[in-house]
Amino acid sequence: MSRLESHLADFSIRGLDLIDPEVLTQAARALMTTERENIAAFDEKRLTEIIDLYVRTGIQVHSPGYMGRQFSGVVPLAGVIDFVSSVVNQPSSFYEAGQLPSVAERLMAEELNRFIGWEAESFAMVTTSGGSLANLTALLAARNKMFPDFWSGGSPVSDGQPRPAVAVGADVHYSISRAAGILGIGEAQIVRLPLNEAQQIAIDQVGPTLEEAERRGLKVFCLVASAGTTSVGAFDPLDELGDLAREKGIWLHVDGAHGASLLVSDRLRGKLKGIEKADSLAWDAHKMMFVPAPCTLLFYRNGQDSLGAFQQRASYVFDEEPDRYTELDSGGVNFECTKRPMIMPLWTLWSVYGRALFAEKIEYLCDLTEEIHRIVLDEPDFESVHQPEANIMCFRYRPADIRDEDVHRVQVAIRNRIKIQGNFFISKVNIDGVAALRVVMMNHEITAEHFRMLLGEIRRIGRDLLDGGK
Ligand X SMILES: Cc1ncc(COP(=O)(O)O)c(C=O)c1O
Which residues have a Cβ under 8 Å from the Cβ of 11 and sit 6 or more positions away? Answer: 62, 63, 64, 445
Q: Are the C-beta atoms of residues 281 and 275 closer than 8 Å to each other? A: yes
Q: In angstroms, rounded to a whole number, what is the distance separating the alpha carbons of residues 206 and 208? A: 6
Does residue 253 interact with ligand X by CB under 6 A? no
440 touches 81 (CB < 8 A): no
Residue 292 as a binder of ligand X (CB under 6 A): the answer is: no
Which residues 120-159 are close enough to bind ligand X by CB under 6 A?
A: 130-132
Query: By CB under 6 A, is residue 373 in contact with ligand X?
Result: no
Cβ burial of 278 (10 Å; 0-12, 13-18, 19+) is: buried
81 or 227: whose CB is closer to ligand X? 227
207-246 residues in contact with ligand X (CB under 6 A) are 226, 228-230
Contact track, ligand X, 258-277, x by CB under 6 A: x-------------------
Q: Which is nearer to ligand X, 132 or 199 (CB)?
A: 132
Number of residues in contact with ligand X, rule: CB under 6 A?
Answer: 16
Q: Does residue 427 belong to the site contacting ligand X (CB under 6 A)?
A: no
69 vs 459, beta carbon nearer ligand X: 69
Torsion, CA 165, CA 169, CA 174, CA 175, rounded to 10:
-60
Beta strands, E only, 95-212? 124-128, 163-169, 190-193
Q: What are phi and psi of 270, to 5 degrees?
A: -55, -20
Q: Whole-number minimum distance, CB 133 to ligand X, in Å? A: 7
User: Are 69 and 320 in contact, with CB atoms under 8 Å apart?
Assistant: no
Work out how close the CB of 301 gets to ligand X at its nearest, in angstroms, rounded to a whole number.
Answer: 19
Q: For residue 212, which amino acid is it?
A: E
Tally Cβ neighbours within 10 Å of residue 379.
17
Q: In whole angstroms, how close is the CB of 425 to ligand X at the nearest point?
A: 15
Among 173, 339, 396, 450, binds ligand X (CB under 6 A): 173
Q: How far apart are CA 259 and CA 272, in angstroms?
A: 8
Site string for ligand X, 55-74 (x = CB under 6 A): ---------------x----
Question: Nearest distance from residue 117's CB to ligand X, in Å?
Answer: 21
Nearer to ligand X, 104 or 260 (CB): 260
Closest residue to ligand X using C-beta atoms: 131
Q: Is residue 171 part of the contact set for ligand X (CB under 6 A)?
A: no
Q: Site residues (CB under 6 A) for ligand X? A: 70, 130-132, 173, 175, 226, 228-230, 255, 257-258, 284, 294, 296
